[in-house]
Amino acid sequence: MFSTAIVRTPGKSMINGLTTAHLGVPDYERALVQHQSYIKALTECGLNVTVMPADEDFPDSTFVEDAALLTLYCAIITNPGAASRKGETLKIREAVSRFYSDIEEISEPGSVEAGDVLMVGEHYYIGLSGRTNLAGSNQLIRILENYGMTGSIIELEHVLHLKTGVAYLEHNNLVVSGEFVNKREFAGFDKIVVPDEEAYAANCIWVNDTVLVPAGYPVTARKISDSGYSVVEIEMTEFQKLDGGLSCLSLRF
Ligand code: CIR
């Protein structure tokens, strides 16, 4: 169970965020409303939510998930692969240090964005992506092992981050889309398969047996609800324009 989340209000500079989506420029006011709904949903799932103020210097800084990996035993500050995102970690470290005394970090030449890291109990799957490199993945595995946890590497083909296309809902249930449907590494899971036309909905989050799903993906929402979860739909259009999904907007621990 999670008790706490950290989020960061988007800044007006989000309109300059990194994107490959071709869905237009985010509407800042609408993004703020959507972010408020996200916070409300986490709160209703029982989490205490720490809201960091916007940081205009970093257009993608609302996607806090990428800057740290929070485990049961330690926090790991990442080293984002995107040059414009590297400086995000400074304030994330400050926020995280209120909750953790053991804080580790990924350093050059290693890069990791924790959107590439999928937690399944005490094992962490690490996606090798354009943002997370082999040196960073190996550093991360060493850190995890020092605390009695494990990690393994998965090569990504098309997605930005591992969790762009896969989500773990506990109880051995894995939501998968696209390249992950038949991935050998995930053969042992019970799979909830997201249809190609709803691929964005593969980035959903388990929060204490409620699953937050982006609004507008009825087939996926139904499949998850049929698997026994209560489903809450969140409008995410303005973050989708920056390739961001539900997991990216919070650190949950
Ligand atoms: C980026 O390209 O870095 C941001 N525009 C989106 C980050 C999304 N984060 C995530 O999937 N964990």
- What does the pLDDT read at residue 31? 98
Handedness of CA 199, 174, 41, 88 (dihedral sign): negative
Give, as one character, the DSSP assignment of residue 189: S
At 147-190, the pLDDT tens digits run 999 999 999 999 999 999 999 999 999 999 999 999 999 999 99
Question: What dihedral do alpha carbons 34, 77, 188, 134 form, nearest 10°?
Answer: 120
- What does the pLDDT read at residue 115? 98
Cβ 11 under 6 angstroms from ligand 1: no
Question: What dihedral do alpha carbons 124, 213, 211, 92 form, nearest 10°?
Answer: 50
Cβ 238 under 6 angstroms from ligand 1: no
Percent of the chain past pLDDT 70, that is, above it, reads 100
- What does the pLDDT read at residue 205? 98
Would you name the residues annotated as active-site residues? 161, 248
- What does the pLDDT read at residue 16? 98
What is the mean predicted confidence (pLDDT) over 221-227?
98
Cβ 242 under 6 angstroms from ligand 1: yes
Q: How far is the CA of 131 from the centre of ligand 1 (A)?
A: 10
Q: What is the pTM of this model?
A: 0.97
At 87-142, the pLDDT tens digits run 999 999 999 999 999 999 999 999 999 999 999 999 999 999 999 999 999 999 99
pLDDT-based confidence at 235, cuts 50/70/90? very high
- Report the nearest-CA residue for atom 1 of ligand 1: 18
Cβ 244 under 6 angstroms from ligand 1: yes
- What does the pLDDT read at residue 33? 98
SS3 48: strand
Per-residue b or e along 82-93, where b marks 16 or more CB atoms closer than 10 Å to that residue's CB: eeebbebbebbb
* Contact by Cβ (8 Å): 246, 225: no
At 34-57, the pLDDT tens digits run 999 999 999 999 999 999 999 999
Q: How far is the CA of 165 from the centre of ligand 1 (A)?
A: 13
Cβ 34 under 6 angstroms from ligand 1: no
247 Cα nearest atom in ligand 1: 12
* Contact by Cβ (8 Å): 131, 116: yes
CA atoms within 13 A on the CB side of 169: 26
Percent of the chain past pLDDT 90, that is, above it, reads 100
- What does the pLDDT read at residue 182? 96
Residue the block writes with tokens 């929402």: 221
Average pLDDT over the chain, rounded to whole?
98
Q: How far is the CA of 63 from the centre of ligand 1 (A)?
A: 6
* Contact by Cβ (8 Å): 144, 121: no
At 153-165, the pLDDT tens digits run 999 999 999 999 9
195 vs 16: CA distance, rounded Å: 30
pLDDT-based confidence at 232, cuts 50/70/90? very high
- What does the pLDDT read at residue 83? 98
SS3 56: coil
Report the residue among 22, 125, 248 best suited for mutation to probe ligand 1: largest number of ligand atoms under 8 A from its CB: 248
Cβ 62 under 6 angstroms from ligand 1: no
Q: How far is the CA of 231 from the centre of ligand 1 (A)?
A: 23
Report the residue among 62, 63, 69 best suited for mutation to probe ligand 1: largest number of ligand atoms under 8 A from its CB: 63
- What does the pLDDT read at residue 7? 98
- What does the pLDDT read at residue 204? 98
Cβ 5 under 6 angstroms from ligand 1: no
Q: How far is the CA of 74 from the centre of ligand 1 (A)?
A: 23
pLDDT-based confidence at 13, cuts 50/70/90? very high
Neighbours of 33 (CB within 10 A): 13
Please choose, from the candidates 169, 253, 164, 155, the residue with its C-alpha nearest in 3D space to the C-alpha of residue 206: 169
Q: How far is the CA of 60 from the centre of ligand 1 (A)?
A: 7
Strand order through the sheet with 123-128? 117-120, 123-128, 150-155
* Contact by Cβ (8 Å): 18, 243: yes
- What does the pLDDT read at residue 145? 98
For every residue of 63-87, DSSP letters joined together read -GGGGEEE-SS-EEE-B-SSGGGGG
* Contact by Cβ (8 Å): 59, 109: no
